[in-house]
Amino acid sequence: MSKFSKPVLGIESSCDETGVAVYQPGRGLLAHALYSQVKLHADYGGVVPELASRDHVRKLLPLVRETLDRAGLGMRDLGGVAYTAGPGLVGALLVGASAARAMAWALDLPAIGVHHMEGHLLAPLLEPDPPQPPFVALLVSGGHSMLVAVRGIGDYEVLGDTLDDAAGEAFDKTAKLMGLPYPGGPALAAEALKGDPGAFHFSRPMTDRPGLDFSFSGLKTQVLLAWNKSDRSEQTRADVASGFEQAIVETLAIKCRRALEATGMSRLVIAGGVGANRRLRAQLAEAGEREGFSVHFPRLEFCTDNGAMIALAGAIRLAAGQEQGPQIRVQPRWSLETLEPVPTA
């Protein structure tokens, strides 16, 4: 069996989740495991980089053993190792990169550093009916909000990016200023389900002008002013949360439709943590049915950071002969547009 058709181990450690998975070309995802550090960082109201790195050190190797056991494999059954090389927290990235490089060296296997956002972008390919390029991808996570024209794997053009707060950051910061628990994004989305989205109207930032960039810091300020002037009751909190979520979702939907029109593409991929938002999924699915474009989401467990998307992206690139030398290198800042295209099979 060619080593590029053998299972690939994927490691994700870019922030506060340790993810490990095994993916095999031709068979798909064999096993995956995830450990979240949410409880560790809750007392601080956000991710503490040094604590995140130390926890990755503690959890990574046990998760590797657990994942291989679930897949019924041993280390010698692997054909390659993939790991997140960036963007992300440099200490957290180095934990995963060091472990991956050590395993690859010890087993004489090829290894490759994967772009974290490419992993998210390709996560819908893990589904039974995967979208094929060309398509527009909306990547919305804690630190990123961008629209990307995907003409092939590795052939990416960033159409629009965030100028300040990403959508996920806006969710988290807005939740905090209204007294909701960490992590703020899911807590705010849960609160919004109980509210009236029409009770408070907030602007749809940068939709009144041409372009595909995002800016959510002003929206966060609007919510702060509305909350401070309100009676701060439980129902008001739910109404403000619902109005804020509706503003974010409508802004993202407007920009997605513009990107599809600008590129002439008819497929839309949504990925990243905010892609798990119920209202976003519902509104984009409805828009797709109404306007004639298809919408593709990863399953909920693969919206947030995970090892499966890294194993998949690594397997694709290793199969194309793209492997890297033994140096341990990470890139906390890394543009998607600098990636090497993968030749079409």
The confidence score (pLDDT) of residue 345 equals 52
Domains 8-123+303-338 and 132-297 share a fold: yes
Class of domain 8-123+303-338: alpha beta
pLDDT tens per residue, range 222-270: 999 999 999 999 999 999 999 999 999 999 999 999 999 999 999 999 9
Q: Distance between CA 113 and CA 329 in Å, rounded?
A: 8
Question: Which residues is 294 bridged to in the sheet?
Answer: 267
Nearest to 137 by CA among 123, 128, 341: 123
pLDDT tens per residue, range 58-107: 999 999 999 999 999 999 999 999 999 999 999 999 999 999 999 999 99
Per the annotation, binding residues for substrate are: 139-143, 172, 185, 277
pLDDT tens per residue, range 202-227: 999 999 999 999 999 999 999 999 99
**Does the pLDDT at position 3 exceed 70?**
no
Q: Are 81 and 324 in contact (CB under 8 A)?
A: no
Confidence category of residue 1, pLDDT binned at 50, 70, 90? very low
- Assign 3-class secondary structure to the chain: CCHHHCCEEEEECCCCEEEEEEEECCCEEEEEEEEECHHHHHCCCCCCHHHHHHHHHHHHHHHHHHHHHHHCCCHHHCCEEEEEEECCCHHHHHHHHHHHHHHHHHHCCCEEEEEHHHHHHHHHHHCCCCCCCCEEEEEECCCCEEEEEEEECCEEEEEECECCCCHHHHHHHHHHHCCCCCCHHHHHHHHHCCCCCCCCCCCCCCCCCCCCCECCHHHHHHHHHHHHHCCCCHHHHHHHHHHHHHHHHHHHHHHHHHHHHHHCCCEEEEECHHHHCHHHHHHHHHHHHHHCCEEECCCHHHCCCCHHHHHHHHHHHHHCCCCCCCCCCCCCCCCHHHCCCCCCC
Question: Which residue type does 80 have?
Answer: G
> Domain-by-domain residue ranges, the chain?
8-123+303-338, 132-297
Per the annotation, binding residues are: 116, 120, 139-143, 172, 185, 277, 305
- Does CATH number 3.30.420.40 belong to domain 132-297? yes
What does residue 314 show for φ and ψ, rounded to 5 degrees? -65, -40
Q: 40-47 — which CB contacts under 8 Å span 24+ positions? A: 40/16, 41/16, 41/182, 42/181, 42/182, 42/183, 45/176, 45/182, 46/172, 46/182, 47/15, 47/16, 47/89
Confidence category of residue 344, pLDDT binned at 50, 70, 90? confident
Per the annotation, binding residues for Fe cation are: 116, 120, 305
Nearest to 121 by CA among 325, 342, 320: 342
